[in-house]
């Protein structure tokens, strides 16, 4: 069975990556897909986000990286994925995620939504938190893959992270 993991990934965090690695152990294939959402103004261009995900998942054989606009269920069907995967960090994620899952189920009953609980050590992480810390020069080395930390330093004109 193959799964689609959609998101903004603006930028990719270690929480996202942990979820991708765990999904790669559970599914025969995982498609990580960046949603091009016209109502959001991303900090990183689509190509940058795709590059961040490709570099961070290069060690995972059956992970593909793509992008889409429009309905997630349509893209899931197009990719031949039967499962949409989402991460749950806290109760605050739940209400919104459940609504989206019900909506997607009403549109495409053949596509299931599955939730994976975030790893405890990454449960405080979000792309917004990471950008906020990086903007003010804080260390994000334990929050994002190395390449993303470099991208963040560039974005906010900060010193590149020390190896
Ligand atoms: P979206 O705008 O679609 O919510 P995000 O990039 O913020 O896109 O999140 C994509 C998915 O990754 C969501 O299912 C979200 O709950 C999950 N996620 C976000 N942060 C983490 C984390 N720290 N650990 C595990 N999953 C996460």
Query: First CA to last CA across the chain, in angstroms?
Result: 38
| Mean pLDDT confidence for 24-43 | 94
Q: How confident is the model at residue 93 (pLDDT cuts 50, 70, 90)?
A: confident
Give me the numbers of helices (H) and strands (E) for the chain, helices first please: 6, 5
Structure tokens at 80: 């031949």
- DSSP three-state, residue 85: strand
CATH topology classification for 2-121: Rossmann fold (3.40.50)
Q: How confident is the model at residue 162 (pLDDT cuts 50, 70, 90)?
A: confident
In sequence order, what are the residues at sequence separation of 6 or more whose Cβ sits closer than 8 angstroms to the Cβ of residue 114?
A: 3, 83, 84, 85, 86
How far apart CA 117 and CA 154 sit, in angstroms, is 32
Mutate-to-test residue for ligand 1 from 14, 16, 36, 89, highest number of ligand atoms within 8 A of CB: 16
How far apart CA 67 and CA 7 sit, in angstroms, is 9
CB 63 within 8 A of CB 37: no
The pocket around ligand 1, CB under 6 angstroms, is made up of 7-9, 13, 15-16, 19, 86-87, 89, 93, 118, 122, 125-127
Does the structure show a pLDDT above 80 at 32?
Answer: yes
Q: How confident is the model at residue 92 (pLDDT cuts 50, 70, 90)?
A: confident
Q: Determine whether 127 is an active site residue.
A: yes
Q: Tens digit of pLDDT for each residue in 110-153?
A: 999 999 999 999 999 999 999 999 999 999 999 999 999 999 99
Q: What are the distances in angstroms from CA 54 to CA 9, 17, 39, 77, 101?
A: 12, 11, 25, 22, 27
Q: Tens digit of pLDDT for each residue in 57-66?
A: 999 999 999 9
- pTM as predicted: 0.95
Residue whose token pair is 């994925």: 81
Which DSSP string do the residues of 98-118 spell out, in sequence order?
Answer: HHHHHHHHHH-TTSEEEEEEP
Q: Determine whether 131 is an active site residue.
A: no
């Amino acid at each position: 069975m193959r799964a689609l993991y959609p998101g903004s990934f603006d930028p990719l965090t270690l929480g996202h990556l942990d979820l991708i690695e765990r999904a790669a152990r559970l599914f025969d294939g995982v498609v990580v897909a960046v949603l091009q959402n016209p109502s959001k103004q991303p900090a990183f261009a689509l190509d940058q986000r795709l590059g961040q995900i490709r570099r961070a998942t290069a060690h995972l054989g059956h992970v593909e990286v793509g992008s889409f606009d429009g309905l997630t269920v349509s893209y899931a069907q197009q990719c031949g994925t039967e499962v949409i995967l989402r991460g749950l960090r806290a109760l605050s994620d739940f209400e919104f995620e459940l609504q989206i899952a019900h909506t997607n189920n009403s549109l495409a009953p053949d596509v299931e939504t599955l939730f994976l609980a975030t790893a405890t050590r990454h449960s405080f992480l979000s792309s917004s938190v990471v950008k906020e810390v990086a903007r003010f020069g804080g260390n994000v080395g334990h929050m994002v893959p190395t390449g993303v930390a470099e991208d963040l330093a560039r974005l906010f004109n900060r010193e590149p992270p020390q190896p």
